[in-house]
Amino acid sequence: MIQIKTPAEISTMAEGGKILSDVLQKTLRKAVPGITTADLDKYAENLIRAAGAKPSFKMEKGYHFATCMSVNDVVVHGLPREYRLKEGDILGVDAGVYYRGFHTDASWSIAMGASKETVKFLKKGEEALEKAIAQCRVGGHVGDISKAIQETVEGAGYSCVRQLVGHGVGRKLHEDPEIPCFVRGKIENTPPIRAGMVFAVEVIYNRGQPQVIYAGDDGWTIATRDGLPSGLFEHTVAVTDAGPVVLTAPDSSPL
């Protein structure tokens, strides 16, 4: 069942979203060649706790880190390790914050020095997220969000991952509805968008083919099957009568 948040609850989520935005931006700035993803994770966790919040991901059963650190062909759920970032790597940092009873969720991908093709690839993910957020409006359907992502990503020659989805977020980190990066069936048959809904809108896409696999034996890391790079961009977005509000943007301003 989709949970509708009150304006007061959304205001509380905006406070948590501001914390998460600050943590994510600082962690991304610290991500330079030579640093380990484990060190980045510890840095992010310290920031979260110093702000009076908790790492949402550590509240998930069996997960022991504050962030997911996905490098190159890792799509999602990359475990922070002693891997040292190097020139040319693509890094996706995904984090969640639990603050005053509510979760927020956000992620961003950057490159450690980038070719023109990598710049184009990552910019397209940002563009897809922007267009998806614009569809988080009263009167639309969840499928409209999916359509915006799919058209933008596939229109550039990339692929949307089918097995992974965005989601509702609030008192639980993962709530209804699922928000795939592609259209499933008829858009009018997907959930209608109402004021008070809060979504973790995720653009999960690959440079090559859409197929993914579990990598290694940790039970978490999901990578592209063809070994080509992946990208991940995500914001927590509240639906209001005045339009979408990005809760994990620095100023939580309407798009």
Q: How far apart are CA 196 and CA 159, in angstroms?
A: 31
pLDDT in tens, 136-174: 999 999 999 999 999 999 999 999 999 999 999 999 999
Q: How far apart are CA 19 and CA 97, in angstroms?
A: 8
For domain 7-246, the question of CATH label 3.40.50.2000 is answered with no
Q: Are 88 and 12 in contact (CB under 8 A)?
A: no
pLDDT in tens, 197-237: 999 999 999 999 999 999 989 999 999 999 999 999 999 99
Token pair 């984090």 in the structure block, residue: 95
Residue 13 has φ and ψ, to the nearest 5°, of -65, -35
Other Cβ atoms within 10 Å of 11 Cβ, number? 13
Q: Which two tokens stand for residue 117?
A: 């093709």
Residue 12 has φ and ψ, to the nearest 5°, of -65, -40
Q: What is the pLDDT of residue 158?
A: 98
pLDDT in tens, 6-40: 999 999 999 999 999 999 999 999 999 999 999 99
Domain residue spans in the chain? Answer: 7-246
